[in-house]
Amino acid sequence: MTTAKSYKFWFCTGSQDLYGDECLRKVAEHSHIIVEELNKSGVLPFEVVWKPTLITNELIRKTFNEANADDECAGVITWMHTFSPAKSWILGLKEYRKPLCHLHTQFNEEIPYDTIDMDFMNENQSAHGGREYGHLVTRMGIERKVIAGYWADRKVQERLASWMRTAVGIMESSHIRVCRVADNMRNVAVTEGDKVEAQIKFGWEIDAYPVNEIAEYVQDVKQGDINALVDEYYDKYDIILDGRDPEEFRRHVAVQAGIEIGFEKFLEEKNYQAIVTHFGDLGSLQQLPGLAIQRLMEKGYGFGGEGDWKTAAMVRLMKIMTSGIKDAKGTSFMEDYTYNLVPGKEGVLEAHMLEVCPTVADGKVSIRVCPLSMGDREDPARLIFTSKTGPAVATSLVDLGDRFRLIINEVECKKVEKPMPKLPVGTAFWTPKPDLTTGAEAWILAGGAHHTAFSYDLTAEQMCDWADAMGIEAVCIDGDTTIRTLKNELRWNQMYFRK
């Protein structure tokens, strides 16, 4: 189900006619070569489209408006090959509404020491032109990504590639629709928030349905479809009976198959890409959706527990931003559960009641049927696994009353020391950066939630850029974080973002 359009990015080169046609011919030739090579590199997730050199107010304005109108265009990459008087860009930039990148590069990597003359300098003066253009964009207060470096350098290409995914996140945010099954959990603060403001800021539509409306879709699922899906589960996953009767076990699993099919039909019909549930409000559903929600997340749906629509939308957003990544390691809803505080082995054990996405699993995934210590329904079937190791980001979007804040923590995922045979949920274990103590203190001071949208395949830079583009506060907790500087950052941000 995860889909992002086959987006394209326009490559627009800035110049002027002061140095004659020969110079402009070379400018166009150079930008053609850069676009071709970028597309051939295999590094970029989306195609770059060459556009004619921009030298006049009229053409710049026309080009940006065409970019606005083109559904396939997810952003414009601008490069100032020569000096491009920036007043020519004002009207175009003013009317432009999509993600903007300033690639601050030049065609040649090295100064041609033996041959360089004034003609060469005039033709190749990105260091000059990029500053004129950058000044204007800053003066206009336009959010954009600046990437400096040699265009053929793999690191520069990788940064451009990761910005493209951020740009798609910016474009796709307004297509996210969250289906709320029941309300937020009673008395819980951090999962609440201003849904109108979320639609203004992020474009999210967040609608509630009585649980039995979706439960009817589950009741209507044909037995044959359920049986076929259960067979698929039994083929794909290991079965851990825990001494239960195999037939009884299978009947429990079949309930989740019915939920998966019924929920997906409901979401497809009504065009929702994310869903929240609440263990305390299950209507006529026989089990808390566990395995069913895990499978839906695997297909690309966003999810948040206990009515947490903010996290559900963020999980969906991050699924879209990471779609199509080769060898992706996974993106999931998570919850901070319990600590390991042993010196040298510090970390947070992550899980949820049931709903962790199997895309993050390392190795085999199994089905177990176990009692749920909360709620009043029959024992739900769930997928269990442990997660991959390596760097990742955990994000929490909170509503501070007068604004949203996105908290982003770089974390290092690890294996727990020993198996946990009595814990029947999918888990992850990570040490927050810069260390557990500072990371946890910083997270709490920033007001971060216990629910997170988590991904191995995105970086803090991408999530910060997305927040910047949305016009909200981003607080990054990483290897450089100290409590003293973080507290000041939070105070300064409070001034900046106060309306």
Which spans of this chain sit near Mn ion (rule: CB under 5 A)? 305-306, 335
Q: What is the DSSP string of 152-180?
A: TSHHHHHHHHHHHHHHHHHHHHTT-EEEE
Residue 268 identity: E
> Which CB, 264 or 306, lies closer to Mn ion?
306
Least Å distance, CB 355 to Mn ion, is 8
- Residue 394 in contact with residue 451, Cβ under 8 Å? no
Least Å distance, CB 268 to Mn ion, is 26
> Which CB, 206 or 449, lies closer to Mn ion?
449
> Which CB, 27 or 453, lies closer to Mn ion?
453
**Cβ atoms < 10 Å from Cβ of 127:** 12
Q: Which helix (H) or strand (E) holds 399?
A: strand 390-399
> Which CB, 262 or 305, lies closer to Mn ion?
305
Question: What gap in Å lies between CA 169 and CA 453, rounded to an integer?
Answer: 14
Q: What's the DSSP call for residue 452?
A: E
> Which CB, 311 or 331, lies closer to Mn ion?
311
Least Å distance, CB 170 to Mn ion, is 28
Least Å distance, CB 454 to Mn ion, is 13
Least Å distance, CB 309 to Mn ion, is 13
> Which CB, 244 or 377, lies closer to Mn ion?
377
Question: Given phi > 0 = left and psi -120 to 50 = alpha, else beta, which region is 203?
Answer: left
Residue nearest to Mn ion (CB): 305
Least Å distance, CB 446 to Mn ion, is 19
- CB hemisphere CA count around 258 (13 angstroms): 23
Return the sign of the alpha-carbon dihedral for residues 44, 49, 53, 57: negative
Least Å distance, CB 193 to Mn ion, is 15
> Which CB, 205 or 308, lies closer to Mn ion?
308
- Residue 409 in contact with residue 459, Cβ under 8 Å? no
- Residue 249 in contact with residue 234, Cβ under 8 Å? no
